[in-house]
């Protein structure tokens, strides 16, 4: 019995080493499966993110949407409230949901061609979906309102999905899992690199602390300006 207890692999140091090795193996499995989950959507978000970041600088010839404008005649009597017009527009344009954004700007005085002009009350409506964006503008007192639609091209559709424009709650939650997965990949990757060695762990902690301090300093400096 004493011979078994005195074996080198039964010492506290060896048992601690085995626990560390098992923990690193567990981290590798998590890193692998989370990476597999996020591979496809991560590629989508990465590619569309590059296009969004560099479309202006690199002059990437990407037509994101086909725009169409129309003047829509109001029914007799018009509408007393923006909410009533929103309901009518939803039915007239055969839109499935209520406006994602609606705004009523009060009358105000503006300067046009160096002359003061009275602008009447202005109503704006916006509908958003990954495939299409619809906006309407109406000045109270007119008999027509302006409607503009933007039909996304295939590449524009991917970009709108990247920006979560008009998407469902399911897509938002799905995108959140990708963001969470990236965080898990980062943490597990750092822990696997350290192999739970004290010096490497200390290096990671100091580096992360310095990074957070830099972000906090830049944020406070920006808000203070």
Q: Distance (Å, rounded) from C-alpha 119 to C-alpha 142? A: 12
Please report which confidence band the pLDDT of residue 6 belongs to, taking 50, 70 and 90 as the band edges. Answer: very low
Expressed as residue numbers, the domain containing 166 is: 19-58+162-224
Burial class (CB in 10 A: 0-12, 13-18, 19+), 136: buried
Show which of 124, 152, 180 is a domain's final residue: 152
In-domain check, residue 92: yes
| Residue 147 and residue 170 share a domain | no
Q: Which of 185, 165, 171 is nearest to 52 (CA)?
A: 165
Residue 9 in this model has a pLDDT that exceeds 60: no
What are the tens digits of pLDDT across the range 25-67?
Answer: 887 888 777 777 777 777 777 777 777 777 667 665 555 666 7
Cβ atoms of 146 and 71 closer than 8 Å: yes
| Residue 138 and residue 109 share a domain | yes
| Residue 170 and residue 124 share a domain | no
In-domain check, residue 106: yes
Question: Packing angle between helix 12-54 and helix 154-162, nearest 10 degrees?
Answer: 130
| Residue 75 and residue 146 share a domain | yes
| Residue 26 and residue 96 share a domain | no
Q: Distance (Å, rounded) from C-alpha 200 to C-alpha 204? A: 6
Residue 134 in this model has a pLDDT that exceeds 80: yes
In-domain check, residue 140: yes
Q: How many domains does the chain have?
A: 2
């Amino acid at each position: 019995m004493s011979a078994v207890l005195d074996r080198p692999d039964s010492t506290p140091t060896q048992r601690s080493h085995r626990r560390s090795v098992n923990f690193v193996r567990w981290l590798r499995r998590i890193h692998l499966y989370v990476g597999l989950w996020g591979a496809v959507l991560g590629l989508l978000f990465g590619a569309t993110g590059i296009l969004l970041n560099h479309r202006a600088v690199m002059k990437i010839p990407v037509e994101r949407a086909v725009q169409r404008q129309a003047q829509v005649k109001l029914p007799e009597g018009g509408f007393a409230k923006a909410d009533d017009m929103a309901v009518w527009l939803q039915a007239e344009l055969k839109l499935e949901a209520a406006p994602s954004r609606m705004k009523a700007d009060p009358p105000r005085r503006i300067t046009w061609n160096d002359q003061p002009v009275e602008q009447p009350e202005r109503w704006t409506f916006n509908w958003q979906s990954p495939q299409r964006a619809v906006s309407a503008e109406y000045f109270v007192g007119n008999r027509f309102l302006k409607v503009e639609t933007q039909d996304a091209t295939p590449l524009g559709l991917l970009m709108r999905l990247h920006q979560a424009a008009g998407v469902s709650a399911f897509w938002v939650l799905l995108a959140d899992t990708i963001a969470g997965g990236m965080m898990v990949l980062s943490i597990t990757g750092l822990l696997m690199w350290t192999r739970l060695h004290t010096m490497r762990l200390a290096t990671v902690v100091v580096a992360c602390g310095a990074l957070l301090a830099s972000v906090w300093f830049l944020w406070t400096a920006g808000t203070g300006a």
